[in-house]
Amino acid sequence: MLSSRKICLHVILKLSAERFGKRTVASFALRAVKLGGSASTSDWPSEASMSSWKAFQGNLTSLTSGLKNVDLSNTTEKLNKQFATFSQQVRETTGQLEEDGVTELPEEYKTLERKVDALRATHLSLLKITKAYETETYDYPTQINESLTEGFALVSHSLTSWAAVAAKGTNLPAPTVTDKAPEQHKTLSHALSRASANSALELTSKSSQPDQLGSVLQTYAVAQDKVGQLRLDQDALIRAEFNNPWSATLNSAINAAMKARQSVKTARLYLDTCRTKLKNASAAKQEQARLEVEAAEERLVTETEQAIGIMASLLANPEPIKNIAALAKAQQSYHEQAAKVLQGITASLDEASVQADGEYRKSRGIA
């Protein structure tokens, strides 16, 4: 009985080693050697060990079945084709091919290629700049060191109050004064507004008499706060109507055209590889090589036609022109509204300037 078990175990381990390698079953082989050196039943594996061995046998069976379903010949063929195509590309790059060793693509295709390259470069170039509209601080002064803490809560509350006063007697809606300070935005206009408002508060707090400069700064602070908000509105509009669709075109339609071109390149390289193979094939392999060339030619024609269609459709798309129009419109709207805001305070600032100049001259006895 002992001998039969040892023989069975030896056969199983040998077959496993032949298929899966000796290292895979090393631990079991060591156990078999131990069993061979002792006839004591205490040396036999425990029930738990035998369960592990059965599980191992089951795993081997599953692995064997899985390996039978792997088409190694097909995988090898694909790898050979990829290597041959890569070798063809290397020879082209290093100038090791004759002039007729590279298939010429249609002129229509090459013209579309150049136009798509220009379109892609245009999208990348503009998007690199307009990405700034996705960062609030793109015009924020880097040399200042604002501390947006409790002190600016008072400034913000004052701005809202001054704006409400300025809106009285006009058709403009009066801003709502709240106890909670609004968000402190980091833009150039908001920075100018806060600095002016803070200075106005400082000037008016030092005297019980009205301060002309403080009053002017109040007006200027309110206007700059409005301009800052208009700039934020412009940025949001540009992100929605230019950056997003512009990026979508780059990441979808243009990328699809680039992938189609890559497929043409791969097909063309493979055709040239097949032609080289046909040129060097022995008489016995001429027919097979010729059939491969014909199949490769058909594939190249199909890929080229598809790429031409994709590129032509991309170039005819009016979306980029609509995006540029939206960008310009958003900028125009911002500048127009900002100009109106500043124009609205120009008259009062000019009047204050003339008044201050007159008082100064009068105090100095200057005619």
Task: Identify the CATH number of the domain in which residue 200 sits.
Answer: 1.20.1270.60
Shared-domain flag, residues 157 and 270: yes
Task: Tell me how far CA of residue 198 lies from CA of 186, 222, 353, in angstroms.
Answer: 16, 12, 21
Transcribe 336-366 into DSSP letters: HHHHHHHHHHHHHHHHHHHHHHHHHHHHHT-
| Residue 251 burial class via C-beta count within 10 angstroms: exposed 0-12, middle 13-18, buried 19 and up | exposed
Whether 33 is covered by a domain: the verdict is yes
| Residue 288 burial class via C-beta count within 10 angstroms: exposed 0-12, middle 13-18, buried 19 and up | exposed
- Identify the pLDDT of residue 39: 45
Shared-domain flag, residues 176 and 306: yes
Shared-domain flag, residues 160 and 43: no
Contact between 340 and 170 (Cβ < 8 Å): no
Q: Give me the number of domains the chain comprises.
A: 2
Q: What phi and psi values does residue 173 have, to the nearest 5 degrees? A: -70, 135
Whether 100 is covered by a domain: the verdict is no
* Beta strands per DSSP E along 220-324: none
Shared-domain flag, residues 63 and 140: no
Whether 109 is covered by a domain: the verdict is no
- Identify the pLDDT of residue 149: 52
Shared-domain flag, residues 206 and 334: yes
The reported pTM is 0.69
Whether 95 is covered by a domain: the verdict is no
Shared-domain flag, residues 256 and 348: yes
Contacts of 235 (CB under 8 A, 6+ apart): 133, 134, 136
Shared-domain flag, residues 33 and 149: no
pLDDT of the chain, 367 residues: tens digit per residue:
445 555 545 545 555 555 445 554 455 555 544 544 444 545 555 666 667 667 766 776 776 666 566 665 566 655 556 655 656 656 656 555 566 668 999 999 999 999 999 999 999 999 999 999 999 999 999 887 766 554 455 555 455 554 555 555 555 555 555 555 568 899 999 999 999 999 999 998 877 777 899 999 999 999 999 999 999 999 999 999 999 999 999 999 999 999 999 999 999 999 999 999 999 999 999 999 999 999 999 999 999 999 999 999 999 999 999 999 999 999 999 999 999 999 999 999 999 999 999 988 988 888 6
Whether 217 is covered by a domain: the verdict is yes
Whether 101 is covered by a domain: the verdict is no
Q: What are all long-range contacts of 338-341, with beta carbons under 8 Å and residues at least 24 apart?
A: 338/227, 338/230, 338/231, 341/223, 341/226, 341/227, 341/230
Shared-domain flag, residues 198 and 310: yes
Of 68, 87, 114, which residue is a domain's last?
68
- Identify the pLDDT of residue 271: 95
- Identify the pLDDT of residue 143: 81
Shared-domain flag, residues 28 and 154: no
Whether 120 is covered by a domain: the verdict is no
Shared-domain flag, residues 167 and 272: yes
Q: Which domain holds residue 314?
A: 136-364
Whether 164 is covered by a domain: the verdict is yes
